[in-house]
A and B are shown apart, each in its own frame.
Chain A
Amino acid sequence: MPDALHTDVGGSVGPVTTQHVKLFDDPHPLELESGHRLAPVEVAYETYGELDANGTNAVVICHALTGDAHAAGHHGDPSRSGWWDNFIGPGKPVDTRRLFVVCANLLGGCMGTTGPSSINPETGEPYGLRFPLFTVGDLVEVHRALMRHLGVTRLRAAIGGSLGGMQVLHWAMEFPDELDAAVLVCATSRLSAQNIAFSAVAREAIMRDPNFHGGDYQRIGVRPDAGLGVARMMAHITYLSEEGMREKFGRRLQNGTTPRFGFDVDFQVESYLHHQGEVFLRRFDANSYLYLTRAMDYFDPFRDMVAAGPKLEALRTPFLVVSFDSDWRFDTAHSREIVQILAAHRVPVTFREITSPHGHDSFLLVIPEYHRTVANFLRRAGAEPGFTHAAGI
């Protein structure tokens, strides 16, 4: 098996379009873990590469908190590519020459998939906070419905970073016969108190914005931009590392070398965070932020080991778990906990902590050791003997 040394080179999948499909209907609604039912659920997704005749070469990309379906290629302007374009494409770690890649916007999102900003068919108005609470498991149920719609019978792999990795973990534990391999990058099986605390403050910032109106801001025609911007600015700090910020900004001033001694943006790091906050406002919905962060808070598949034990015993899917040494959002201890539990239940697990100064965001960057590991792992996915294709999605 040749070993790819330069997986960071490779082509682009080129121009792509986001597609939309309505899944579930009134006789067969999406049954959420909370007991609520949703139908139909519109899903925005993109695909790259070709599905083989048996429907078994598919790879699902599960996006993180604020991602969308546009993972690779471009929508007309080649200089503005999808959020994981360095990772997906011909000759890239997720090689579209042999894999059929699917990425869908998450349930509860705001990039084309049904979420709190969608119109509630019962009232004709946006759901707002009347949208039902959902779990990571519910996100996976929508992915599975999309796979059935696309004719995918079995996944070569499910891949995700951060919240994406949480979806992959759930998918593998609940439906081990549906995937040949699982890839979790800087993920966690449960948020720590500190993680939840950051999410809580972000949500407070949104909900205390005078324009929030109990989540009904859309109906009133305003937006809780101040709150959402602060939430994003704070979250963004947790995606970078101290070292990365020192390198990128230090104490440098935005204009010149003399401090202006005021409360306006003066340091470069302030300007950067403001920019991140503002860009985010243009593409994200505050209610979606509340719902998706809450789904992360409640995720804890190993909490009840009496229930999880038998699932793990039945799990033989090879896992790749990757963490980054400067990530403090979900640090290596989070990944190691997953590795320990998997290994204790005889799940084949490959794990590596990658050296990178770029914190949690490292998973989106070209880091040769990281890309090489994923490329080699995916090349073997589905090649192991002893895996039958009896079950389908």
Chain B
Amino acid sequence: MRLDLGVIADMVPAGSRVLDLGCGDGALLEELIRRRGCQGQGVEVSSEAFHACVARGIPVVAADIDEGLPDFTDGSFDVVVLSHTLQATRRPALVLREMMRVADTGIVSFVNYGHIGLRLQLLTRGRMPVPRLAPKRWFETANIHPCSILDFESLVRGQGLVTDQPVILAADGGPAGGLAARRPNAFALSAAYVVRRDPGPGVR
């Protein structure tokens, strides 16, 4: 399994009921279901990825998460995972709201477009940056809503949500240390957040 999926899997409590949005070929769900005692359900819009999930026995609903999550009722999951998918949605705020409707906990990972290397690409070449983790040019990339770590945190706050400390990911998808951990918005390639509903003042 990809290292970054391993990091996400580690953030999911064993035995939880997990909804994976944009679950791809179902590799993360397979890990969670077969080895971590979770109940898992995927949502995937790509036809080929859908077939890959069915072929490995992962339950998957073919749907476009930009339409919301009408197939899933409030609070019916413990955790909703959105791994490297938020930036590819047309309506990230809606997707985030829908996640937090069907579960109390969300896990979101994304490429950090605030990374210094990407800033320099734009500054020095005057061209839209192409991140190593999503090496597609502006007209090819699925990431139509690129954001930095600060942008993401601001979106989360704006939705009345709070986050734990993010897990900062290195180029290989594993956890990163050093500068990336100390100054993530400028030096992290990507990050994974646990998102929760804001319990309000006095409760924290």
Query: A: which residues have CB within 8 A of B?
Result: 1, 3, 318-320, 336, 339-340, 343-344, 346, 348-353, 369, 372-373, 376-377, 379-380, 383-385
B126 lies within 8 A of chain A by Cβ: no
Q: Is the CB of A339 within 8 A of B71?
A: yes
- CB <8 Å contact, B54 and A349: no
Instruction: For the complex, give the distance between the alpha carbons of A237 and B70 in Å.
Output: 30
- In the assembled complex, B3 has its CB within 8 A of some CB on chain A: no
B61 touches A379 (CB 8 A): no
Residues of A within 8 A of B41 (CB): 343, 348-349
Does the CB pair A372–B73 fall under 8 Å?
no
On whether the beta carbons of B55 and A340 are closer than 8 Å, the reply is no
Query: A323 to nearest B CB, angstroms?
Result: 10
A340 and B70 contact, CB distance less than 8 A: yes
Contact A344 B73 (CB under 8 A): yes
**Contact in complex: A376, B54 (CB < 8 Å):** yes
Are A348 and B51 closer than 8 Å at their CB atoms?
no
Chain B hits for A320, CB < 8 A: 54
> Are B59's CB and A379's CB within 8 A?
no
The dominant DSSP class at the A interface is mixed
Distance in Å from the Cβ of B23 to the closest Cβ of chain A? 12
Closest to A4 in B: B55
Residues of chain B at the chain A interface (Cβ within 8 Å): 17, 34, 39-41, 47, 50-57, 59-63, 70-73, 76
Across the interface, do A346 and B17 meet the contact criterion of CB distance under 8 Å? yes
B41, B71, B73: residue with the most chain A Cβ atoms closer than 10 Å: B71
Assembled-state Cα–Cα distance A344/B73 (Å): 6
- Max chain A CB contacts within 10 Å: which of B52, B54, B62, B72? B54
Count of A-B residue pairs with CB < 8 Å: 66
Residues of B within 8 A of A349 (CB): 41, 59, 61
Shortest B106–chain A CB gap in Å is 17
Given contacts A3-B55, A352-B62, list 16 more A-B pairs with CB under 8 A.
A1-B55, A3-B51, A339-B61, A340-B72, A343-B61, A346-B17, A349-B59, A349-B61, A350-B53, A350-B60, A350-B61, A352-B61, A372-B51, A376-B54, A379-B55, A380-B54
In the complex, 18 of the A-B residue pairs with CB atoms within 8 angstroms, ordered by the A residue number, are: A1-B56, A3-B55, A336-B71, A339-B71, A340-B71, A343-B61, A343-B73, A346-B39, A346-B76, A348-B41, A348-B59, A349-B41, A351-B63, A352-B62, A376-B51, A377-B54, A380-B57, A385-B34
- Give the complex CA separation of A61 and B50 in angstroms: 25
A367 to B: closest C-beta gap in Å: 13
Nearest opposing residue in chain B for A322, CB measure: B62
User: Is the CB–CB distance between B39 and A348 below 8 Å?
Assistant: yes
Q: Return chain B residues, CB-CB under 8 Å to A339.
A: 61, 71
Contacts of B54 on A, CB cut-off 8 Å? 320, 350, 373, 376-377, 380
